[in-house]
Amino acid sequence: MADHVTGPWNDTSLSVDERVDALLAEMTLEEKVSQLGAHWEMEDGNEEADGDVAPMEDAMSAGKLPFNEEIVDGLGHLTRTFGTKPLSVPEGAADLRRRQTAVMHSNRFGIPAIAHEECLTGFTAYQATVYPTSLAWGATFDPELIERMAYAIGEDMAAVGVQQGLSPVLDVVRDARWGRVEETMGEDPYVIGTLATSYVKGLQKAGIIATLKHFAGYAASRAARNHAPVHMGRRELIDLILYPFEMAVRDGKVGSVMNSYADIDGEAPAASHWLLTELLRDEWGFEGTVVADYWSVAFLEKMHHVAADQAEAARLAVSAGLDVELPHTGGYRTLPDQVRDRLLDESVIDTAVARVLRQKIELGLLDAPHKGESWEPTIDESRDLDSETNKQIARDVAQKSLVLLQNDGTLPLAPADAAGKRIAVLGPSAEDARTMMGCYSFPNHVLAKYPQGRFPHNGLGVPVPTILDALRETYAEAEITHAPGAPILGYDDSNIAGAAELAAAADLAVITVGDLAGMFGKGTSGEGCDAEDLKLPGAQQELVEAALATGTPVVLVLVTGRPYALGDIAERCAAVVQSFFPGQEGGPALAQVLSGAAEPTGRLPIGIPAGAGGQPSGYIAAPLGQNSQGVSNLDPTPLFSFGHGLSYTTVEYSGLSTEAERIAVDGTTNVRVTVTNTGDRPTEEVVQLYFGDRHAQVARPVKQLLAYQRTPLAPGESKEVTFWVHADRFAFTGVDYRRIVEPGLIDLWTGPSAGELPLSAELTLTGEIREVSGPRVLDTPAHIS
């Protein structure tokens, strides 16, 4: 269809609403529904590739139409042109141009598709920079840095013709055994909300639509099993799980939302009118598109059994407010006939299509005919997706995410002090570069399916210095020996004794243990890689025990996608450093922190448990969720609490005060605290402010993060941090499920972690119970003086 019909929808002088209405009025029912579908050109028939990148990929793809049939009358989305198989930028550009041209020629109006890609650890594409995973973002407590990273990711995606990114993940961790903990930003909804909102702003500033996922409750599945049901009351769902999503919608103005797979109290989010329309749109004011997590429309029939067939599944989903079926069109193909059979009102279709068309118009995809041009994706075929700028940002995020859990003074170990000494570098993470990256990094997500050595840089596509490489370069004058000792996958302790001999002969042992990210049971962390308990995988715990038994000082370095229990080993180590899949620059970043070339300033976005069992637990809990001696023999108190992290200096807190001791239930106040670097090294202290509702009509968390501020401090320097607090931040869901602010006493605490809060103050809220509806204050901004 070479000649396209043009009209007011191409006229850039008209408002977006006028253009959408004009185009919608001209479209047939089939043309409308085509905008609600997608196509995924997968690795069909490739004998080299082995493994899936999405749940039940083979089974769910059985009914997929060929591309030329799928795009008849147009197409809503093109799924992962760059993220499905290894394509260079020129190869991906050629493929995307071919597909977009075909899509435009297949419909009367020449409407292109929106090309979407994954971007959870950077642009998930061949030879693109692999940034630290989301749990590492959480450890930075640095929204400005995360926004800078997201902007860099978005610029790369936009440069090669992509319009939408399927990130960030806002799931609040409720059970650390869940495999996808690495994709989250931890256990605190406020940290998640602020960082995710910054990510959204950065990505969308670069011209890429951000997508919040997984909406909602996915990380709270029973027994931490992927896709398992979520049994949670609506109060916990609203007050904890939905909070970061609301912030990213209201404050971040996000463009898209993706539903969760897991049902909540029996209701599948893909078919939840309350979740996708009443809450998201009517209450929060969301104006973008809701896109399906891959095959979640089909899952309404196949997995949830709430639909008799795919037609009913499609009707339920689109009626609930799910606009676009991904990754390819399935049940939505039946929607025109359902309208004609009066099973569905056409206005439902019009509402969903208008949202998709609005985004395409806002992206400029329909502007070209008005300018006398034909649209084609703008692609910079010379784009370096792993630029030096990218790598520096990746290094910055990695450095700021490293958490020093414990230190007896062994660290930092300057290279000059290590000269002539023997350092045994043990553990499976030391020389395996894949252990530095999350499951949605291109090397682990896609390249891992191919034979080892098929691609450059040891099959990874990008240079990834290992921890061993970085330590040998940093401590060039030391004698470094190495043995893996034990694998990550499977239990094998046959080489532990040999590794322990190296430790015994050394002046210092650096032991690197942790996870290998994978998909659906092919890793110890990642989608479908859930854990029975929080013991280190395989025989790694035994490896650490054997090294400790030699008497050689041990620096334990954890490279993981979730927290693991360290109660039996941490106190016996000279130092413990926690990293959460720090990305391709993680090895050098770790070496810089160990050597003192960089300061450790990361903080835990999730607590480290003492024991491997007794899950789930978390610091945000009501009184009966805390340690209750005489009631239960299980103590959920973490070994290292949320927010914990040491530095190579000491910081003192003083002078906590509130500008007003009493404020109205809709009032504000400033809370101030002074922090002083009392040591001889610079640092960035993450100042944390917590609150607790002393008495409320429902059981409330004993303490919860109210605000935080990363604060640079030179040796001997003092700074005052001021937090602007609105009473909205004390709102909660009451006994009648209305969101309220109650009068009464609020406890405030400040300090370096949820487990160490040396200063306290009180704030009294006055007046009558106030219902909080509509827009509200979700953030607690801070400034430093």
Q: If you average pLDDT over residues 754-761, what whole number do you get?
A: 98
Name the amino acid, one letter, at 520.
F
Residue 42 predicted with pLDDT over 90? no
Predicted pLDDT of residue 43:
64
Strands 114-117 and 77-79, by their bridges, are: parallel
Q: What is the pLDDT of residues 506-548, one digit of tens each?
A: 999 999 999 999 999 999 999 999 999 999 999 999 999 999 9
- Specify the pLDDT at position 730: 98
Shortest CA distance to 753 belongs to which of 400, 453, 404, 477?
A: 404
Alpha carbon 742 to its chain centroid, in Å, reads 33
pLDDT surpasses 70 at 45? no
**pLDDT, mean of residues 363-367:** 95
For residue 292, the Cα-to-chain-centroid distance in whole angstroms is 18
Contact 731, 718 (CB under 8 A): no
pLDDT score of 164 more than 80: yes
Spatial distance between the Cα atoms of 488 and 465, rounded to a whole number of angstroms: 19
Cβ-contact 255, 322 below 8 angstroms? no
Omega before residue 189 within 30° of 0, cis: no
pLDDT digits (tens, 9 = 90+) for 414-442: 999 999 999 999 999 999 999 999 999 99
Q: What is the pLDDT of residues 658-671, one digit of tens each?
A: 999 999 999 999 99
DSSP string across 292-359: PPTTHHHHHHHTS--SSSHHHHHHHHHHHT--B--SS-SGGGGHHHHHHTTSS-HHHHHHHHHHHHHH
SS (H, E, C) 185-213: CCCCHHHHHHHHHHHHHHHHHCCCEEEEE
Give the residue among 605, 598, 600 at the shortest CA–CA distance from 576.
Answer: 600
Mean pLDDT value across the chain: 95
Among residues 108, 114, 115, the alpha carbon closest in space to that of 23 is found at 108
pLDDT at 52 exceeding the cut of 70: no
Furthest-apart CA atoms within the chain: distance in Å: 83
Residue range 442-497, pLDDT digits in tens: 999 999 988 877 888 888 999 999 999 999 999 999 999 999 999 999 999 999 99
The position carrying tokens 């032991």 is 511
**Confidence (pLDDT) at 1:** 44
pLDDT digits (tens, 9 = 90+) for 546-592: 999 999 999 999 999 999 999 989 999 999 999 999 999 999 999 99
pTM: 0.97
Query: Under a CB-based contact definition with an 8 Å cutoff, are residues 405 and 576 in contact?
Result: yes
Identify whether the C-beta of residue 210 lies closer than 8 Å to the C-beta of residue 158.
Answer: no
Identify the pLDDT of residue 4.
Answer: 87
What confidence score (pLDDT) does residue 98 get?
95
CB 488 within 8 A of CB 516: yes
Confidence of residue 78 (pLDDT cuts 50, 70, 90): very high
